[in-house]
Amino acid sequence: MKNLFSLEGKTVAVIGAGSGIGRSVAQGAAQHGANVVCLDVKADAAAETAEGITSLGCSASSGKCDITDLTSVRDRMVDAASKNGIHGVVCTPAINVRKPILQYTSEEFARVVNVNLQGNFNVLQAAGQLMTQQGFGSIVLFSSIRSITTEHGQSVYSMTKAGIVQLVKTAATEWGTKGVRVNAVGPGVIETPLTEPIKQNKDWYNAYAMKNPMNRWAQSSEMAGPTIFLLSDAASYVTGTILFADGGWLAADGRFTPPGM
């Protein structure tokens, strides 16, 4: 049982490894024994992550991958699987344009959907093609608490994060008998480059912190554990679901604590 979380001897490709959650997941997977392929649209950032991993005596390589380009994604998946197959694929990138629905432009809508939905579909399809042929593998996409609950200005972002959950469920349904598991992680509020604008507004930042029962934001490193679980044999019977790592955000309405409680 103690080896259930080990990724020893497995190849794991992490897209978005250049920063934030992706970098933390890449580092965590390497420390659990995986040969990590660090991929990012920013090749230099991916290389920096890989160098940091190898400096610790772990195995890592890097490359450029644009998830909106299916050819780019397919090429990187094939490269990663060239030796012993590809055991895990994690996709973390997302973008957001915070605007009321009535102010959204068609161009902004297309840009968010292209990265968050089309990009994740490209990764899912490319990884799935390889994994269903080899007969094993675990794919982890990143959704959000916004797949369940939303707020002003989050219409398109929330729509795409809900869409990722349905992609995960469908892929899990189609590939379950082929040895391929597909799941999602649903973060709450995480300190990453994407949420940096919120951190600059003290009232906004604190409001989010007080919304969840733990009264704080998460660090990107706290998303590595849930992801590694889904990649590992510890989750061998887990597929088609979303694992929320949200500090209890979805468990509490956060409006009022009754007297004496």
Residues that are catalytic: 144, 157, 161
CA atoms of 33 and 50, how far apart (whole Å): 14
In single-letter form, the type of residue at position 170 comes to T
Helices (H) and strands (E) in the chain, counts: 9, 9
Task: Compute and round to an integer the Cα radius of gyration of the chain.
Answer: 18
Calculate the alpha carbon distances from 209 to 7, 71, 98, 205, 254 in Å: 33, 40, 19, 6, 11
Whether 38 and 17 have beta carbons less than 8 Å apart is answered as yes
Closest CA to 129 of 90, 173, 81: 81
DSSP state of 176: G
> Edge-to-edge, what's the strand order for the sheet holding 88-91?
60-64, 35-40, 11-15, 88-91, 137-142, 180-187, 242-245
Distance of CA 137 to the CA centre of its chain: 16
